[in-house]
Structure 1
Amino acid sequence: MYAVTDVGDVNNIAESVQKVMDTYGRIDILVNAAGIGNNLMVVDQAKENWDSIISINLSSVYYMCKAVGEIMIKQNYGKIINIGSIHSRVIFPGGGISAYSSAKGGVMNLTKDLAVEWAQYDITVNAICPAVFKTELTEDSIDLPGFMDLIKAYCPAGRLGEPGELDGLAIYLASDASSFCTGQLICVDGGGTAI
């Protein structure tokens, strides 16, 4: 069973969460992975672009956590995994991701705040912060001239993330093996935040 959700619509989030509850009666794991971005400098960023990126990348995480968190509190159990970004911690030269990095910085602090609020209910809240992986969101950037030179200069591993390299961490954070791990922002970045 799945519920297609427009995460930019708070009412649709509530409807989707209710569909899952109607089917399964509980929610144990939430992964917030929706994301959009652009490559616009601040002076070129229209209000609609900023609002959309903040809505999808940050506000949707807040509202999804709120809706599912109410259920997890009643259950006295839950695992929340937010997908952040290396860009909540570092910015590569060239800029152009101010809305995206601002939203992901918000996800970082929301993750820590909820971890503190909800630890008493046996709910863990953590974030995975990937570097650049080839996805629909990044493919236009990856194709820009000089982009891979930038990756090689600012990622000690000198490459993009590969499919599957987030899987083990996600499984750990969704499992009871991580029951004492909460409020953590774990970068999967080939060493990018180490320099």
Structure 2
Amino acid sequence: MSYPAPFDLSGSVALVTGAGSGLGIEFCEVLAQAGADVACADLDEGAAAATAARVEGLGRRAAAITCDVSDEAAVAAMVDTTVRELGRLDVLFANAGIADPNPAPVHQFRTADWHQVLDVDLHGVFYSCREALGVMVQQGNGKIITVASMWGLTGASSVFPIPAYNAAKGAVVNLTRELGLEYATANIQVNALCPGFYRTRLAGGAYDDPDFVSAITAFTPMGRVAEAAEIRGPALFLASAASDYMTGQTLVMDGGCTAK
């Protein structure tokens, strides 16, 4: 499969964190289909390798990298490995994230859970962006896509309480604005994807629970949960020249939830 300009990524190198599952797999595959070589990073070594094999099956080069994005030294090594093995770094998807492990109202929320979510969902994004920007500034170009959430734009408690996830994703949205402004004259565009309900394993086995699916379907104006593959079009738009005059922005794909 090939894509016409301005969506063609031939000759580009992309790095995707959280590449071993969910939306990360979709990002890696669409990038490869558009012509990019892809570094597939994940905390799970086997999952990273499996996604890298998918990329290679599409005829592109791949690197499988084990990385805990909450560890800044590991993130620096991840970016170094990407450049060493694939030659450069043109596109970053700062995608790795976790849900609140024990969702609860704030007065019952565990401090350890708060730190765990922010370490991955916010600090991990910061570390990944910082290290990628060090390469992109030297190259004179780049695309960074942070993966936030519709819950970074609005509260979630009308559906369920997830205070740490909300706080982290809200911070990612504003960090994206800041980075977009900081690097606007450096030929580096930084934008955020804000998905709504996509059928992934982020929420553990929640999508196997008919009551949960019924509740979120009723909450979503379009009346359905998105399939993971539906993220591919928006992702490719932000990774490609199609979005060259867009920076510091959020692209929301939520079936209409935040329009309410």
Give me the TM-score of the superposition, normalised by structure 1. Answer: 0.94
Instruction: List aligned pairs for 1:72-151, cutoff 5 A.
Output: 72-92=136-156, 93-143=158-208, 146-151=211-216
Structure 1 position 145, deviation (Å): 6.6
1:46/1:8 Cα in 2 relative to 1: closer, same or farther (>3 Å)?
A: same
Select which of 82, 85, 89 maps to 1:23.
Answer: 85
Task: Quote the sequence identity (%).
Answer: 36
Is 1:191 aligned with 2:253? no
Is residue 167 from structure 1 mapped to residue 228 from structure 2 by the alignment? no
What is the CA-CA distance between 1:76 and the residue it aligns to? 0.9
- Report runs of 4+ in structure 1 exceeding 3 Å deviation: 139-146
What residue is the counterpart of 1:12 in the other structure?
74
1:177 aligns with 2:242: yes
**SS of structure 1 residue aligned to 2:183:** helix
* Matched length: 195
Q: CA RMSD in A?
A: 1.5
1:179 deviates by: 0.6
Structure 1 runs not aligned, ≥5 long: none
Q: Which amino acid aligns with 2:180?
A: A
- Find the counterpart in structure 2 of residue 60 from structure 1: 124
The structure 2 residue matched to 1:71, chosen from 121, 135, 156, is 135
Query: Separation in 2 of the partners of 1:122 and 1:33?
Result: 22
Q: Identify, as 1 or 2, the structure richer in strand.
A: 2
2:159–2:216: 8 Å Cα contact kept in structure 1? no
Shift of 1:136: 1.2
SS of alignment partner, residue 2 of structure 1: strand
Q: TM-score, normalised by structure 2?
A: 0.71
Shift of 1:45: 1.7
- Greater relative CO, 1 or 2 (CA 8 Å, sep 6+): 1
Moved more, 155-164 or 109-118: 155-164
Unaligned runs of 5+ in 2: 1-62
